[in-house]
Amino acid sequence: MSSGPEKDWQQASCYLNGEWCALRDAKVSVLDRGFIFGDGVYEVISVDQFQDDRGSYRAPFQIREHFVRLQRSLDAVRIANPLTIEQWFDLTAEVIDRNPWQRQLVYVQVTRGIAKRDHPFPSGVSPTVFVSTSPWPLISNEQIEEGVAAVTHADERWLHCDIKSTSLLGNVLMKQYAIDQGASETVMVRDGFLTEGSSTNISVVKNGVVSMPPKTVQILPGITVDGIARITQAHGVATEVRPVAAEELRTADEIWLSSSGREVLAIVSLDGAPVGSGKPGPMYRSMHQWFQQGKQADAELWAMLRGRSSACAPEARTR
């Protein structure tokens, strides 16, 4: 297997119900309730490459937080967690190890399993467990330096947005709405207040204060936005978790989007109007730097807890 981004992502080695195979060969039954009902939950975990005095290694970011949230989602939809958190860590380390990319997005999905199509929970069914990964392209300097455009839309989704469910049609339609408008994210508003982006959390900066909506059923409790809150607080930046009125989006100095895959990006135009100066603001620039430092610290912790085994050292991967 050649290493590097040239490797066809469909050849990625993935895990399905206890077996490893190429992603293109992984098959589930059409009766899987994930397929029939979107009856499942998922996580996306970013993996980056880091350096220490012994060379380079790869580490997942905020892995514990992701599997704590997976447990929360499973509890919410009443699927028994098929693995312990340590087993999830091992599986994540293995999928990273089995694949060559320095930067990866690990995808984890658990569905209720395979049963005759009928709405009630089936009995005696094992959950379907799927773990795959794909190359995670560098977030472009242009996006970091110039920011991205967003549009607003009414939040028309259901009221369990706190569950990281694979039933994402509402989010898919909102993302496509952004693309159709030539923007890269849709910022949603419900009853006059900011909820979140189609696949991101949204924070607003005004007069040096960073504000983010509270964790309710209306938004996903994002791992990245939690990281942002911890970072701002650690650096003495005033941070408020409170309902953010839609009008505040119009007068914000800065707006940020955040997710595991996009980290933190500045939204510099909203519905065609500039946000603040129309460029990523000074708070964003600090946040971006602090965020990278936070990633480094988290990776060091992973390397310390797991040891610097071949599990995450790309140069040691020969399979």
- Alpha carbon 307 to its chain centroid, in Å, reads 25
The closest alpha carbon to 269, from 152, 174, 172, belongs to 152
Stretch of 28-36, 78-86, 217-225, 242-250 contacting ligand PMP, by CB under 6 A: 217-225
Nearer to ligand PMP, 128 or 200 (CB): 200
Q: Which residues contact 16 (CB under 8 A, 6 or more apart)?
A: 26, 28, 128, 129, 130
String of DSSP letters for 305-319: HH-S-GGG-GGG---
Find the binder of ligand PMP among 224, 249, 288, 299 (CB under 6 A). 224
Q: By CB under 6 A, is residue 259 in contact with ligand PMP?
A: yes
| Host H or E run for residue 42 | strand 40-52
Spell out the SS3 assignment of 215-252.
Answer: CCCCCCCCHHHHHHHHHHHHCCCCEEECCCEHHHHHHC
Q: By CB under 6 A, is residue 195 in contact with ligand PMP?
A: no
Find the binder of ligand PMP among 13, 186, 201, 218 (CB under 6 A). 201
Instruction: Determine whether 164 is an active site residue.
Output: yes
Nearer to ligand PMP, 121 or 291 (CB): 291
Between CA 251 and CA 253 the distance in angstroms is: 7
What track of x and - describes contact with ligand PMP for positions 152 through 191 (by CB under 6 A)? -------------------x--------------------
String of DSSP letters for 134-152: EE-PPPPHHHHHH-EEEEE
Stretch of 112-120, 195-203, 237-245, 289-297 contacting ligand PMP, by CB under 6 A: 195-203
Q: By CB under 6 A, is residue 218 in contact with ligand PMP?
A: no
Q: By CB under 6 A, is residue 40 in contact with ligand PMP?
A: no
As annotated, the active-site residues are 164
State the residues that interact with ligand PMP by CB under 6 A: 44, 171, 196, 199-201, 220, 222-225, 258-260
